[in-house]
Structure 1
């Protein structure tokens, strides 16, 4: 039977994610079991896996948000705005808002340290990147202008953004101040979009 108060809705998912994140950041991803997360959250392990099919997704739970950002950047462009400009606008907006996907959000330093210490999390990050690349490729295929070059643009953007994030993560861990790193992060994002627009010399 479900535990008292156990539900399957968004509130339960959010609570499980919050509890799991706290435990992982305190003790390390590989040192915490799903059963411990379930016990702390007051739910069953079955309920945890209902919301998070993989243990890694308890911490890496922003894939849906990232997919939504990519879809919106392609589909919701204003007239006359090309995809590169729209992706740039969306990416810089995440930075300005210090969104969880930006790389410089509050709590980013312990998050990056936890990911860097776990081969399982690093592997899952790469899988998510591949999934997002496929999604962006599919979205670009909806536009006749990208019938040939969509896969290349998707690959370059996802790989480039991941490279910027990894460098930002390294600098955050080294320097310990997101505000200090944010300006460098913005400059490297601008370099990424300049390369997407004009190529690399």
Structure 2
């Protein structure tokens, strides 16, 4: 039987509360005025903390709004690394996507604040660039895990890219529909079928690529002939 999660200490709870207060103040300012028009000093004033405190919790201004990278790395990495024997990497990520959708997790694009924050991201070149950095970080992390399992570098990178593309496609599809005025409940009801469809296509692409990839010996022979 797994041990229960430890209860956070008073100090840890206070840190979590401070982080949430800063993030909430920042989101409110960014949504109302735009990311580029709000300074970190203004966020600090709204959250009633110092500017240094803001940077202690969020080293980059972009992280005040897009702070899900550590969790994305942890969740996707654990899904691939800890998957049952015989489960393909993209199958493991499909299971993660279904679980996130069921929980209405922000990474699924179905949580209430996510679509409203999307407009802020789309209006800011800095946030769009940071979002791309985050996706690349997740992709590199997954490719590294797969390569460590013995996958060839090209296959590992291709599979990781497919997984991240699938997750991004699903998140975007949900957020776009809600932004267009559809009910979050209606979008969530449709989401599992879309998850299965998207990941089935990604898994087929990964399998087709693996089946057509030449062996290491064949690649070496081709290089020598060239």
Q: TM-score range by the shorter chain?
A: 0.7 to 0.9
Between stretches 56-65 and 146-155, larger displacement belongs to: 146-155
Cα shift at 1:62? 0.6
The answer to whether the aligner puts 1:12 opposite 2:45 as a matched pair is: no
Q: Pairwise mapping of residues 22-171 of structure 1 onto structure 2 (< 5 A)?
A: 22-145=28-151, 148-171=154-177
**Secondary structure, in 3 states, of the residue corresponding to 2:148?**
coil
Normalising by the residue count of structure 1, what TM-score does the alignment of the two structures yield?
Answer: 0.87
Normalising by the residue count of structure 2, what TM-score does the alignment of the two structures yield?
Answer: 0.78
Cα shift at 1:103? 0.5
Query: Hey, what's the Cα distance between the residues in 2 that align with 1:183 and 1:146?
Result: 38
Runs of 4 or more, structure 1, over 4 Å off, are 145-148
Cα shift at 1:14? 2.5
Cα shift at 1:147? 5.2
Cα shift at 1:174? 0.8
Query: Hey, what's the Cα distance between the residues in 1 that align with 2:75 and 2:152?
Result: 19
Query: Hey, what's the Cα distance between the residues in 1 that align with 2:141 and 2:181?
Result: 34
Query: Hey, what's the Cα distance between the residues in 1 that align with 2:65 and 2:86?
Result: 38
Query: Hey, what's the Cα distance between the residues in 1 that align with 2:94 and 2:100?
Result: 10
Alignment coverage as a number of residue pairs: 195
Segments of 5+ residues of structure 1 without an aligned counterpart are: 1-7
2:181 maps to 175
1:5 maps to none
Query: Hey, what's the Cα distance between the residues in 1 that align with 2:163 and 2:63?
Result: 23
Structure having the larger proportion of residues in helix: 2
Query: Hey, what's the Cα distance between the residues in 2 that align with 1:78 and 1:118?
Result: 41
Query: Hey, what's the Cα distance between the residues in 2 that align with 1:193 and 1:109?
Result: 23
**Secondary structure, in 3 states, of the residue corresponding to 1:144?**
coil
CA contact (8 A) 2:115 2:176 kept: no
CA contact (8 A) 1:109 1:176 kept: no
Segments of 5+ residues of structure 2 without an aligned counterpart are: 1-13, 209-226
Larger Rg: 2
